[in-house]
Amino acid sequence: MRLSRYFLPVLKETPAEAQIVSHRLMLRAGLIKQSSAGIYSWLPMGYKVLRKIERIVHEEQIRAGHIPMLMPTIQPADLWKESGRYDAYGAELLRIRDRQDRDMLYGPTNEEMITDIFRAHVSSYKDLPLTLYHIQWKFRDEMRPRFGVMRGREFLMKDGYNFDLTKEDALHAYNRHLVSYLRTYERMGLQAIPMRADSGPIGGDDTHEFLVLADTGESEVFYDAQITDLKFGDREIDYDSVEQCRAVLDEFTSRYARTDETHDAAEFAKIPEQRQRVARGIEVGQIFYFGTKYSDPLDATVQDADGNKVPVHMGSHGIGVSRLMGAIIEASHDENGIIWPEGVTPFHCGIVNLKQGDAEADAACEALYKALESHGLEPLYDDRNERAGGKFATMDLIGLPWRITVGPRGLKNGVVELTSRRTGESEELSPEAAVARVAEVYEAHKPVNAAV
Ligand code: ATP
Ligand code: MG
């Protein structure tokens, strides 16, 4: 993309309404625009990052054996009356009446709808296990929408639902989700710690929230510092293996890590004092096992091997796709702007032309642009007729991890400058070597799943 032809409405001023850094930077870098409280348009570059996040979520869900689909945003109230949640959910539920006077609602989550689909089509244990998911907009009429996309009213969520014959099978699905979530967040450059949590209006016995540590997080968290040493990394895992998934759950949940809702001061006190941590975190996902909470009232049953009708065991599993963008920025920025992790960056590499209109510099930038594209990378070329200082400030603000700077002086010596946004370190290289270096970095961040 050439910046002169793109739509990147960066702001010079710091927006006064934004209280936290991610919100400020999302507005300043032209990623989002508020349309009403807690409801945002995703401007082109914000939309690009959102799709990158979404893609990683899809890839890791599909890798774990979960099946993508899409359910509508507007749901019939009848289903929610059947489950009892129409009344229980309260004022966060946006209730709508259509012209036929039917009660509808804008879905805040989809347990009822997926259970309805299940009961219409599945009747035998032979069709289990089954995990379906979608990535769809949700609406919750939050009392205090704030912090930009962090606590929106309309937000994008991945929600997945597992259907299993037994509690043991459903717990395997739970563990499988935990593993896939660890991978998902790490690919976005985040450490998200699973913490024992409270189940809230979803209900159920077993639940973990995934928290990204950040001072601006809305949740208070208590944990053993040892947990932050754990990395999932690039280990191979067989998602069908009950033992392997269970072992990961044990590894990542055996140390104390809880949100304030389930915090137990006596247990916490048993951790050696120098390892006790009280901090704040951003909830970027949650997994639940809730047994037959929805299959009972909605009569979602299967026939087991003995011919008995039994309710299915279920769980639901959410990732805050749009909130993640805020969380990533909270975790990765400096005083000059965003620092995108390679996995989600809107463009792979910036190209800054120090002397627009200089025939040699222009030609070198064009050649770099093509060379990056030929490696399957997407460059953002600042081809505007601006001063170098302004171009650098824009690049720093929008946070592309790599920048190649081209100027007549360097070109005389056959070199361009490759700069890492994260470390600020620059190196002079031939244009070919710079492209090769950038391509090599992104090898580890290639899409992995053709099914997406
Ligand atoms: P919270 O406690 O933050 O209100 P929740 O526990 O009600 O969230 P879940 O039902 O667990 O939310 O939804 C799954 C994920 O969706 C959450 O982990 C969070 O990342 C995201 N999410 C929930 N509410 C919002 C919101 N208002 N804006 C943006 N993302 C949200
Ligand atoms: Mg939650």
Query: Ligand 2 center to residue 209 CA distance, Å?
Result: 6
The C-alpha atoms of residue 413 and residue 311 are separated, in whole angstroms, by: 73
Q: Are strands 349-353 and 402-406 parallel, antiparallel or unpaired?
A: parallel
Query: Ligand 1 center to residue 226 CA distance, Å?
Result: 26
Query: Ligand 2 center to residue 340 CA distance, Å?
Result: 25
The C-alpha atoms of residue 101 and residue 348 are separated, in whole angstroms, by: 50
The DSSP line for 201-261 is: GG--SEEEEEEEE-TT-SEEEEEEGGGGG---TT----TT-HHHHHHHHHHHHSS-EEETT
Query: Ligand 2 center to residue 387 CA distance, Å?
Result: 47
Ligand nearest to the CA of 323: 1
* pLDDT at residue 205 in the model: 64
- Is the model more confident about 5 or about 15? 5
The C-alpha atoms of residue 286 and residue 171 are separated, in whole angstroms, by: 15
Ligand nearest to the CA of 318: 1
The C-alpha atoms of residue 353 and residue 168 are separated, in whole angstroms, by: 60
* pLDDT at residue 451 in the model: 83
Q: Which letter does DSSP use for residue 49 in this model?
A: H
pLDDT band at residue 449 using 50, 70 and 90 as cut-offs:
confident
Residue with CA nearest ligand 1 atom 27: 151
Ligand 1: atom nearest CA of 209 is: 18
pLDDT band at residue 452 using 50, 70 and 90 as cut-offs:
confident
CB 320 within 8 A of CB 155: yes
pLDDT single digits (tens) 34-57: 999 999 999 999 999 999 999 999
Share of the chain above pLDDT 90, in %: 95
**Helices of type H across 321-430:** 321-331, 359-374, 388-398, 408-412
Q: What is the mean pLDDT of residues 13-32?
A: 94
CB 186 within 8 A of CB 252: no
Residue with CA nearest ligand 1 atom 19: 320
On the question of pLDDT at 204 being above 70, the answer is no
Tell which one of 112, 149, 157, 208 to mutate to probe ligand 1, the residue whose CB is within 8 A of the most ligand atoms.
157
